[in-house]
């Protein structure tokens, strides 16, 4: 039923298992080293920042595209009825800022 092992086979088995255990302990030591833990944490943070920045870029790009589309007619020509009020508003804001700055100086 069970195979009888020689002392040499038992010794070889012990050496093999000791080597496996040493390798496992080395791996644990590397994983638990503070530099490894910090490096892993930095990688996770960088990945999260990259994902967040990517989502933000997509959202801004979509908003700009939608905004640009609002200033064009279906045929691609500028939609003057929408552009003129925005330009007038921008000129008014710049004018108010200029007056405000002039009053602070004077």
User: Would you kindly state where each structural domain of the chain is located, as residue ranges?
Assistant: 79-106
pLDDT band at 103; cut points 50, 70, 90: confident
Tell me, rounded to whole angstroms, the distance of Cα 40 from its chain centroid.
15
DSSP codes, 40-73:
HHHHHHHHHHHHHHHHHHHHHHHHHHHHHHHTB-
Report whether 78 contacts 72 (CB < 8 A).
yes
Each residue's pLDDT tens digit, 7-64: 999 999 999 999 999 999 999 999 999 999 999 999 999 999 999 999 999 999 999 9
Neighbours of 31 (CB within 10 A): 10
Per the prediction, the chain carries an average pLDDT of 91
Whole-model pTM over 0.75:
no
Q: Which of the two residues, 100 and 2, has the higher pLDDT score?
A: 100
């Amino acid at each position: 039923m069970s195979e009888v092992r020689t002392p040499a086979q038992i010794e070889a088995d012990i050496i093999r298992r000791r080597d496996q255990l040493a390798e496992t302990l080395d791996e644990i030591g590397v994983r638990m080293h503070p530099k490894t833990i910090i490096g892993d944490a930095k990688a996770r943070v960088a990945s999260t920042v990259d994902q967040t920045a990517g989502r933000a870029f997509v959202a801004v790009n979509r908003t700009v595209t939608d905004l640009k589309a609002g200033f064009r007619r279906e045929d691609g020509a500028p939609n003057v009825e929408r552009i003129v009020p925005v330009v007038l508003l921008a000129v008014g804001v710049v004018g108010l800022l200029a007056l405000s700055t002039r009053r602070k100086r004077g």
